């Protein structure tokens, strides 16, 4: 029987962060993964907190966090832990050569979206530079010939409303020479990003843009500045054009999310995290209030993984970490943990999809103590060596608050601290 | 001043049926619809082309009308009808005496009901319960209410019929007891203006009372709310009815790759009350799982809710107690000439209702042309060479679907768009196989005012993902070609998603809940449609 110090279940942001944080302290860690979490959806931003109560944004993430109810995961962990987790992440990115910016105390950072709306976030890569749009007199909106899911006119229409009509807006179309694909298959941002990954592609794209773009302007692009966590295309383009450059947030698949994924994956490997693919945890072996092992449905075979500690980062409803077989009934399939549905007890869903209220069903999840141990309705710890992170947690609405990756990051960090401190 | 000899009020099945019928008889006719075509009852039902079996015992006349019209609609509207046939299934909890009564009643109305061995039924329909005591085959069929209506309009237009959508009737004016003009209001601009006419037909379904009140005439139409559940699977190949006295939740109708289970029946105050409730869905599932036992194992696509227009001379009658037959009220009896209302009825008999109403109108206009709606197909078959050409650009399985929903003329335009710009061959809605070219074509029609109007005609956003991807794409395309200029894109997308959410919010569990997390992730978390209106105030 091979035994790990720690098993992490889930390969999304919180799974990878907790695995790295533990592995950095020379523990043996195995990460069981069935999918990539929401990297491809949410993008590479780490939203911390923007709308704590209604649809009016707070000034800084820290200010918003202080307004939250005690049931919110952030409130349980507290601001000092949140700040440490943010520092941990920023150091990780720096170490990987793909620096992130932002903090809990800075004003919210507003990033343009493909719709042309602005979205507030906390931690961000340099390619999302919404700030420079404010001062630019001319804004170039770059589209690519044949690119699906990008409509520069719509971006322009709404950006104008946000940034003001007095600026000069121009749409530029770059030809990535993908005629053979047009009409045959979809050209996604990933295809363009792969083209820009190549030296020829980057130079060709820069050449075409340089021919029309005046220095000193702002350039707005879809998420195409490479597939890797590497600022080379961004720095090259910025220097050649002598313009401010920003990517926009697009519908999936998100290239910035894939860059963040690659960065964390490489980092996990560097610190010796063993990653098992296609491993769906289906159950566990529990004895005397402790988990001994998890059962995993691998490719055609069931496996048992033993460890001293387990981190459950299975991603809530979307990741299948939680499952609702019918209205208002929710189960957790690996440890059969009780799920707190009280937020949705009276009203499961708001009448309107978009409103000034958090969605009740979205706040349903597993109740934890400040160490991320799952607790029962009386507040008693259920399993001493199990820790729950990310979207599985109760008490927050990732989407309304703009706090998804933030809660994932901080809870993962706290779970790692608890694992290490419990020795 | 604009004018038309006849104004038809209401863009549901009955209204478009009358529009077509009158246009074919050479009458100058215009239809007024307060929102988009078919936004009301005619698209909010199970899509069952009744064989008449459901009404055979209680209302032989309605049953007879059904089987006759069923036979006609299969011929004139074959692109809208999926000839699935249906089963009537008696379970142990259903009264065996009713079965005998039913068999006799079917004979009386010439409805062929053929008994088969329940074992054979299980063999052909593996999801059907093994508890079935008796099974009969009947000529039920599935019918697409949207497409049927659009094809009626296309046919009417060829004969000179006109349509105005988003046009609300404010007042019906008269001179010396004869209708003279109708005052209408544009839904978007709120501007009011008059249209001159000689005759007004009120075919507003559950809103008929409201329309009649514009002429100060009382018409008692009782809106009756019916909730239905759409599953994201074809549970059976055939329509499955319970063989018992008509009740709630006893019909399953397969359509393409989905199945609709219905219906509930609740008296409501307003026909606009169409928010389905979780309790209604639970109630329907509880009944439905008697017929299909593993019903709860299937993913629910959405729930929806329509309003039956039950006509009652007796204001105390409600729900299934009210006849499903139809009546025509000539308001000359109420002292107003040139105004008639048509109330009650059901989708299956829409053509017959239109014929009777058109007969009345033509008599008063001294028009002696005979009705031809029962013999002339709604649309001609698309020419094979056009289909062959379409196959070069469309995904193979999407050709016949697109041909039938577009009709030949629009299909030709769509193909031309794909030839001119190959990027327009891409799919905007992968679930329903809707290409970019088709969305552009429909968005540029004068009747398309919102993204939801485009949805109703193309089916974009009506499939498995319920708008998670195509809302953005549809909006992007529409802004690119500058169609639908009236609204801002953020509001338009929010409205579109809200219309989807209305049917999703009562069924948020299982995979539907997962999908909702994705949709919110994209539109709320990433694109921040929710906070967009306040971001300026930071």
- Residue-wise pLDDT for B329-366, tens only, equals 999 999 999 999 999 999 999 999 999 999 999 999 99
Cβ-based neighbour number of residue A71 at 10 Å:
15
Domain boundary among B243, B278, B308: B308
Confidence of residue B17 (pLDDT cuts 50, 70, 90): very high
Which pLDDT score is estimated for B538?
40
Positive or negative, the Cα torsion across B133, B136, B141, B145? negative
Q: Verify that B16 and B28 share a domain, yes or no.
A: yes
Across the interface, which of A151, A158, A362 has its CB nearest the CB of B490? A158
CA angle (B181, B182, B184) in 5-degree steps: 145
Q: How far apart are the first and last CA of chain B?
A: 50
Alpha-carbon dihedral A304, A307, A310, A316, rounded to 10 degrees: -20
Which residue would you say has higher pLDDT here, B518 or B531? Answer: B518
- Distance CA(A55)–CA(A352), nearest Å, equals 13
Same domain, B405 and B484: yes
pLDDT digits (tens, 9 = 90+) for A19-35: 999 999 999 999 999 99
The rounded distance, in Å, linking the Cα atoms of A290 and A286 is 6
Q: Are residues B127 and B157 in the same domain?
A: no
Whether residue A252 contacts residue A266, with contact meaning beta carbons closer than 8 Å, is answered with: no
Q: What is the torsion angle, in degrees rounded to the nearest 10, for the CA atoms of residue B459, residue B463, residue B466 and residue B470?
A: -60
Q: pLDDT tens digit string along A273-317?
A: 999 999 999 999 999 999 999 999 877 889 999 999 999 999 999
What pLDDT is recorded for position B206? Answer: 95
Put simply, the chain B residues between 431 and 490 with a CB less than 8 A from any chain A CB are 469, 472-473, 475-477, 479-480, 482, 488-490
Count how many domains chain B has.
Answer: 3
Summarised one tens digit per residue, pLDDT across range B115-140 is 999 999 999 999 999 999 999 999 99
Alpha helices in B315-398 (DSSP H): 350-364, 384-393
Cα A262–chain centre separation: 13
**Where residue B279 sits, what CATH number does that domain have?**
3.30.9.10
In-domain check, residue B154: yes
Q: B277, B531, B533, B536: best mutation site toward chain A, by most A Cβ within 10 Å?
A: B531
Question: CB-based contact (8 Å) between B499 and chain A?
Answer: no
Pair B158, B24 in one domain: yes
**B432 and B517 housed in the same domain:** yes
pLDDT at residue B321 tops 80: no
Residue, of B431 and B320, whose pLDDT is higher: B431
CA B219 to chain centre: 23
Same domain, yes or no, for B398 and B492?
Answer: yes
For residue A339, list chain B residues with Cβ-Cβ distance below 8 A: none
pLDDT of residue B395: 78
Instruction: Give the domains, in start order, of chain A with CATH numbers.
Output: 3-102+259-421 (3.50.50.60), 129-248 (3.40.50)
ipTM passes above 0.90? yes
CA-nearest residue to A361 within chain B is B508
Give the C-alpha separation, A183 to B273, whole Å.
44
Chosen for mutation from A55, A122, A327, A357 (greatest number of chain B CBs closer than 10 Å) is A327
Quick one: B410 and B491 in the same domain?
yes
CA gap A78, A371 in Å, rounded? 11
Mean pLDDT of A99-103: 98
Enumerate the residues of chain B whose CB falls inside 8 A of the CB of residue A362: 517, 520
List the one residue out of B400, B379, B390 whose CA is nearest residue B437: B390
**Is the CB of residue A191 less than 8 Å from the CB of residue A181?**
yes
Question: How close is the nearest chain B Cα to the Cα of A369, in Å?
Answer: 25
The residue with greater pLDDT, A3 or B20, is B20
Position B55 in a domain: no
Report B:40-59 residues touching A (Cβ under 8 A). Answer: none
The 3-state secondary structure of B399-410, one letter per residue? HHHHHHHHHHHH
Q: String of b and e for B122-135 (b: at least 16 CB within 10 Å)?
A: eeebebbbeebebb
The reported pLDDT for the residue numbered A27 is: 95
In chain A, which residue's Cα lies nearest the Cα of B282?
A327
User: What chain B residue is nearest to A398 in terms of C-alpha separation?
Assistant: B525
pLDDT at B317: 59
- Cα–Cα distance, A91 to A100 (Å, whole number): 9
B206 within 8 A of B41, measured Cβ to Cβ: yes
Give the whole-angstrom CA distance, residue B33 versus residue B37. 7
Of B183, B166, B184, which is closest to residue B486 (Cα–Cα)?
Answer: B166
Looking at the fold, whether B123 and B243 belong to one and the same domain comes out as yes
**Closest chain B residue to the Cα of A402, Cα to Cα:** B525
Asked whether residue B377 is domain-assigned, the answer is: no
Dist. CA B255–CA B252, nearest whole Å: 10
Q: Which of A201-205, B146-150, B464-468 has the highest mean pLDDT?
A: A201-205
Question: Is residue B52 assigned to a domain?
Answer: no
Q: Which of A55, A320, A348 is facing B534, going by the closest CB pair?
A: A55
pLDDT of residue B447: 86
Cβ atoms within 10 Å, residue A351? 12
B190: contact with A, CB 8 A cutoff? no
Taking contacts as CB-CB distances below 8 angstroms, the residues of chain A near B395 are none
- pLDDT higher than threshold 60 for residue B165: yes
Which are the contacts of B355, defined by CB distance < 8 A and separation ≥ 6?
A: B17, B21, B371, B373, B374
What integer pLDDT is reported at residue B480 of this predicted model?
86
A184 — pLDDT class (breaks 50, 70, 90): confident
B517 neighbors B492 (Cβ within 8 angstroms)? no
**Chain B contact probe: residue of A251, A255, A329, A359 with most B CBs at under 10 A:** A251
Q: A360-395, pLDDT tens digit by residue?
A: 999 999 999 999 999 999 999 999 999 999 999 999
Using the predicted structure, report yes or no on whether residue B537 has a pLDDT greater than 50. no
CA dist list (Å): A25 to A6, A33, A293, B443: 12, 21, 22, 59
Q: Are residues B228 and B128 in the same domain?
A: yes
Contact B520 A399 (CB under 8 A): yes
B488 contacts A117? CB cut-off 8 A = no
Q: Any residues with CB less than 8 A from the CB of A14 and at least 6 apart, and which?
A: A37, A313, A389, A390, A391, A408, A409, A411, A412, A415
- CATH number of the domain where residue B6 is located: 3.50.50.60
Looking at the DSSP bridge assignments, the partners of residue B304 are B228
Beta bridge partners of B193: B184
Q: Are residues B36 and B161 in the same domain?
A: yes
Q: Residue B459 pLDDT > 80, yes or no?
A: yes
Q: Is residue B126 less than 8 Å (CB to CB) from chain A?
A: no
- Number of Cα atoms under 13 Å in the Cβ half of residue B394: 25
Residue of A nearest to B420 (CA): A183
Nearest chain B Cα distance for residue A27, angstroms: 34
Distance from CA of B22 to the nearest CA of A (A): 42
Measured CA to CA in angstroms, residue A305 lies from A171, A271, A279 at distances of: 54, 20, 11
B9-18, B125-134, B289-298, B445-454: the lowest-pLDDT one? B445-454
Question: What per-residue confidence (pLDDT) applies to B322?
Answer: 63
Query: What integer best gives the mean pLDDT of chain B?
Result: 93
Who has greater pLDDT, A71 or B312?
A71
Contact between B472 and A115 using a beta-carbon 8 Å cutoff: yes
pLDDT at B398: 79
Shared-domain flag, residues B154 and B127 = no
- Judge if B122 and B163 occupy the same domain: no
B529/A146 CB distance under 8 A: no
Q: pLDDT tens digits for B237-282?
A: 999 999 999 999 999 999 988 999 999 999 999 999 999 999 999 9
Domain span at B153: 2-40+146-220+324-364
Residue B525's contacts (CB-CB under 8 Å, 6 or more residues apart) are A42, A47, A398, A399, A402, A404
CB contact under 8 A, A353 and B536: no
* Segment B225-240 mean pLDDT: 97
* pLDDT value, residue A423: 44
* Chain A residues with CB-CB distance to B298 below 8 A: none
Q: Which residues of B287-319 are buried (b: 16+ CB within 10 A; e: fewer)?
A: bbbbbbeebeebebbbbbbbbbbbbbeeeebeb
Strand order in the sheet with B141-143: B48-49, B141-143, B81-82
Please give the model's pTM, rounded to 2 decimal places. 0.95
CB contact B112 to A (< 8 Å): no
> What is the chain A residue with the closest CA to B478?
A154
CB-CB under 8 Å, A56 with B537 = yes
A13-23 helix and A404-421 helix, angle to the nearest 10 degrees: 30
Flag the least confident range among B8-17, B101-110, B227-236, B312-321. B312-321
The H or E element spanning position A140 is strand A138-144
Q: Is residue B70 part of a domain?
A: no
HSE-CB for A178 with a 13 A CA cutoff:
28
The beta strands (E) that lie in B59-196 are given as 81-82, 86-90, 114-116, 134-138, 141-143, 162-164, 167-175, 178-186, 192-196
pLDDT tens digit sequence for B35-93: 999 999 999 999 999 999 999 999 999 999 999 999 999 999 999 999 999 999 999 99
Cβ distance B510 to A158 less than 8 Å, yes or no, reads no
Q: Which residues contact B97 (CB under 8 A, 6 or more apart)?
A: none
B202 touches B208 (CB < 8 A):
yes
Q: How far apart are the two ends of chain A, measured CA to CA in Å?
A: 21
Residue B60, in any domain of the structure: no
Chain B residue numbers touching A51 (CB-CB < 8 A): 530-531
């Amino acid at each position: 029987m091979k035994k790990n110090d720690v098993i992490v279940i889930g390969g999304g942001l919180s799974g990878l962060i907790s695995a790295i944080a533990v592995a950095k302290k020379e523990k043996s860690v195995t990460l069981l993964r069935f999918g990539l979490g929401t990297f491809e959806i949410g993008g590479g931003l780490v939203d911390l907190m923007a709308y704590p109560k209604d649809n009016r944004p707070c000034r800084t993430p820290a200010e918003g966090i202080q307004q939250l109810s005690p049931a919110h995961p952030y409130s349980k962990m507290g601001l000092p832990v949140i700040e440490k987790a943010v520092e941990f992440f920023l150091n990780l990115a720096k170490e990987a050569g793909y620096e992130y910016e932002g903090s809990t105390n800075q004003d919210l950072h507003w990033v343009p979206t493909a719709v042309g709306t602005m979205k507030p976030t906390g931690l961000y890569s340099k390619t999302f530079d919404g700030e420079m749009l404010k001062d630019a007199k001319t804004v170039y909106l770059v589209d690519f010939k044949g690119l699906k899911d990008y409509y520069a006119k719509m971006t322009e229409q709404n950006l104008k409303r946000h940034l003001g009509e007095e600026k000069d807006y121009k749409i530029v179309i770059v030809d990535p020479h993908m005629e053979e694909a047009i009409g045959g298959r979809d050209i996604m941002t990933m295809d363009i990003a792969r083209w820009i990954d190549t030296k020829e592609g980057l130079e060709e794209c820069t050449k075409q843009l340089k021919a029309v773009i005046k220095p000193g302007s702002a350039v707005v692009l879809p998420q195409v500045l490479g597939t890797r966590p590497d600022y080379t295309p961004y720095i090259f383009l910025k220097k050649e054009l002598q313009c401010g450059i920003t990517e926009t947030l697009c519908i999936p698949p998100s290239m910035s999310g894939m860059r963040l994924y690659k960065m964390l994956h490489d980092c996990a490997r560097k610190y010796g995290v063993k990653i098992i693919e296609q491993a769906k945890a289906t159950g566990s072996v529990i004895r005397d209030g402790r988990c001994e092992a998890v059962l995993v449905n691998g490719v055609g075979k069931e496996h048992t993984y033993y460890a001293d500690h387990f981190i459950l980062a299975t991603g809530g409803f979307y990741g299948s970490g939680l499952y609702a077989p019918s209205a208002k009934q929710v189960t957790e399939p690996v440890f059969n943990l009780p799920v707190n549905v009280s937020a949705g007890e009276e009203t499961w869903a708001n009448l309107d999809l978009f409103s000034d209220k958090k969605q009740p069903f979205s706040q349903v999840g597993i109740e934890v103590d400040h160490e991320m141990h799952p607790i029962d309705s009386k507040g008693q710890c259920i399993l001493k060596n199990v820790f729950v992170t990310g979207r599985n947690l109760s008490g927050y609405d990732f989407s309304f608050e703009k706090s998804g990756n933030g809660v994932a990051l901080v809870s993962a960090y706290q779970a790692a601290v608890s694992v290490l401190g419990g020795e | 001043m604009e004018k038309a000899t006849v104004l038809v009020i209401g863009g549901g099945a009955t209204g478009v049926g009358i529009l077509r019928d009158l246009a074919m008889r050479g009458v100058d006719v215009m239809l007024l619809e307060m929102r988009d075509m078919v936004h009301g009852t005619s698209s909010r039902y199970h899509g069952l082309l009744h064989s008449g079996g459901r009404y055979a015992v209680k209302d032989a006349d309605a049953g007879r009308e059904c089987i006759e019209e069923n036979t006609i609609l299969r011929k004139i509207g074959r692109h809208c009808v999926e000839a699935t046939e249906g089963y009537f299934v008696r379970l142990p909890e259903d009264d065996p005496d009713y079965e005998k009564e039913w068999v006799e009643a079917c004979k009386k109305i010439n409805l062929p009901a053929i008994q088969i061995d329940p074992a054979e039924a299980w063999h052909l329909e593996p999801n059907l319960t093994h508890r079935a005591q008796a099974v009969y085959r009947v000529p039920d069929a599935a019918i697409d209410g949207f497409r049927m209506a659009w094809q009626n309009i296309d046919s009417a237009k060829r004969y000179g019929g006109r349509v105005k959508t988003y046009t609300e009737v404010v007042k019906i004016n008269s001179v010396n007891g004869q209708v003279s003009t109708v005052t209408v209001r544009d839904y978007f601009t709120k501007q009011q203006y008059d249209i001159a006419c000689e005759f007004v037909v009120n075919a507003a379904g559950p809103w008929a009372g409201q329309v009649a009140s514009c002429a100060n005439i009382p018409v008692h139409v009782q809106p009756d709310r019916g909730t239905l559940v759409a599953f994201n699977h074809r549970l059976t190949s055939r329509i499955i009815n319970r063989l018992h006295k008509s009740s709630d939740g006893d019909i399953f109708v397969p359509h393409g790759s989905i199945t609709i289970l219905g219906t509930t029946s609740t008296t409501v105050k307003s026909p606009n009350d169409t928010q389905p409730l979780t309790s209604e869905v639970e109630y329907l599932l509880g009944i439905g799982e008697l017929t299909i036992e593993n019903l709860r194992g299937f993913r629910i696509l959405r729930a929806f809710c329509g309003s039956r227009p039950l006509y009652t001379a007796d204001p105390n009658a409600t729900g299934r107690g009210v006849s499903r037959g139809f009546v025509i009220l000539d308001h000359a009896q109420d002292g107003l000439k040139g105004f008639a209302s048509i109330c009650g009825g059901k989708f299956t008999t829409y053509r017959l209702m239109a014929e009777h109403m058109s007969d009345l109108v033509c008599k008063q206009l001294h028009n002696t042309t005979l009705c031809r709606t029962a013999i002339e197909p709604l649309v001609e078959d698309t020419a094979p060479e056009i289909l062959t050409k379409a196959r070069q650009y469309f995904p193979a399985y999407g050709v016949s679907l697109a041909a039938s929903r577009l009709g030949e003329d629009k299909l030709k335009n769509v193909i031309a768009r794909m030839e001119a710009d190959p990027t327009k061959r891409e799919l905007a809605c992968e679930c329903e196989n809707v290409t970019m070219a088709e969305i552009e074509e429909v968005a540029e029609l004068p009747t398309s005012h919102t993204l939801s109007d485009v949805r109703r005609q193309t089916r974009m956003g009506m499939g498995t993902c319920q708008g998670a991807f195509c809302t953005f794409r549809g909006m992007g395309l529409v802004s690119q070609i500058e169609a639908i200029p009236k609204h801002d894109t953020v509001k338009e997308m929010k409205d579109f998603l809200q219309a989807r959410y209305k049917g999703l919010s009562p069924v948020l569990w299982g995979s539907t809940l997962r999908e909702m997390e994705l949709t919110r992730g994209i539109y709320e978390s990433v694109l921040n449609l929710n906070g967009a209106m306040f971001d300026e105030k930071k």
